[in-house]
Structure 1
């Protein structure tokens, strides 16, 4: 049981997928599709695909553009970008007052994580939202 992850998954409504691909074989697409099918509102963030529709959602160039257009609070910023790209994403997340930063499997950036945590954001590193959601659901059933 991971209390931060469990709390995020149980309270989040809107998840911004930074680096979302429109290619169904990519992990970012599969994870976003899974999260969407489990009741989360996803916001597609990818400057290379801005303006096109992915999984029924318009893709935005930045977290700021998505938040302005969707007029939603961002609960989780789910990062499918290289570790060296995370500091800029953390700055954007802070600017839009997101509640958490989630770095996918294999993505670790301690300095960006520390900056986010010091600013009051919850931080998850090197974990997959899809895998953790499945675990959380199984544990929820076991506790019931």
Structure 2
């Protein structure tokens, strides 16, 4: 059964995170995924776009089709996909070696959470990373 991490755990995640792979990042500035990723980038995080539909760069960073293609370690996988796609994102996270998944507000799947936990991947679901960052770290740079 999924149990959300405590505020203290989430705060620690944010403090330890430097690189965020954003699965489902759009290149359209009016989309929530773009706005949240841009906000986190402005707060000092490195953003790596992950979306098979994107070519080139988004927010000045090279986009990748999958998590597995990213040639460097990722601290956290931020998910902007539908809940029913979270399980496959967790599978990719496990293969890529990342150890934390952050499913945005409205994204949750009990089976995906169980898969993550069984494979040593920490997960938070149904929570906006930018809002949590603002609340827990007073919106400051990490």
From 15, 19, 34, the equivalent of 2:20 is: 15
Counterparts of residues 1-144 of structure 1 (less than 5 Å):
2-49=7-54, 51-66=55-70, 68=71, 71=72, 73-138=73-138
Note the C-alpha offset of 1:139: 8.9
1:57-112 deviations in Å (ceiling 9; x for gaps): 1111000112x2xx2x1111000000111111111100111010111001110110
Unaligned runs of 5+ in 1: none
Q: Which has the higher contact order (CA 8 A, sep 6+)?
A: 2
Unaligned runs of 5+ in 2: 1-5
Considering fraction of residues, name the structure with more helix.
1
Note the C-alpha offset of 1:129: 0.4
Note the C-alpha offset of 1:46: 0.4
Runs of 4+ off more than 6 Å: none
1:91-143 deviations in Å (ceiling 9; x for gaps): 11001110101110011101101110121111100000000010112298xxx
